[in-house]
Amino acid sequence: MVVWAPMFGVLSKMPRGVLVLVKEAGRHLLRRPVMGVAVCAHTADDRWLLIRRADTGTWALPGGTVEWGETLRTSMARELEEEGGVTRATFERVTGVYSRPDRDPRFHAVTVCVLAAIEPPVKPPVNPAEIVEAQLFARADLPPELALGMRDMLDLALAGGECAFE
């Protein structure tokens, strides 16, 4: 509390018009979509990696938000290792860019979905409070529904279709 006290003193001395402008600028700077990556990851024998989320118990594509200073390629590799236990992955192509605000109830995200060839997982997920397990599925055994509306992302990758843009 002591650390903030000098800041509040300075703010209380600012003219009201300046405070309104600062508040408006903050609203625009802080209310922006989050950038993320989702990975449609497959092995050479056509098995597909899914992760089971701890919060809902549902299956999903591995992925997450891009961290400050990261490239999409670095984010893809990090998320595959953290969530799926995959240490060897090769980017193949972008399969879609998804930005519908209602896709994720937690926040508005712009998600770049990519196709990647992977070696099978070699270790468990890093954070079991977030990801319960990672599993490879044959096409015929893929779950009909995925968390956060990700099934359409996977279906497009499976079909080898044009890059989606929403």
Fold of 33-165: Nucleoside Triphosphate Pyrophosphohydrolase (3.90.79)
- Interatomic CA distance for residues 5 and 153, integer angstroms: 48
Looking up tokens 């990700």 gives: 150
Which residue in 102, 109, 123 sits closest to 38, CA to CA? 109
- Please state the pTM of the whole predicted model: 0.83
Supply the pLDDT for residue 1. Answer: 46
Supply the pLDDT for residue 23. Answer: 67
Q: Could you tell me which residues come within 8 angstroms of residue 42 by beta carbon, excluding any fewer than 6 positions away?
A: 48, 49, 115, 116, 117, 118
Reported as a single tens digit per residue, the pLDDT across 94-149 is: 999 999 999 888 889 999 999 999 999 999 999 999 999 999 999 999 999 999 99
Reported as a single tens digit per residue, the pLDDT across 20-53 is: 666 666 666 668 899 999 999 999 999 999 999 9
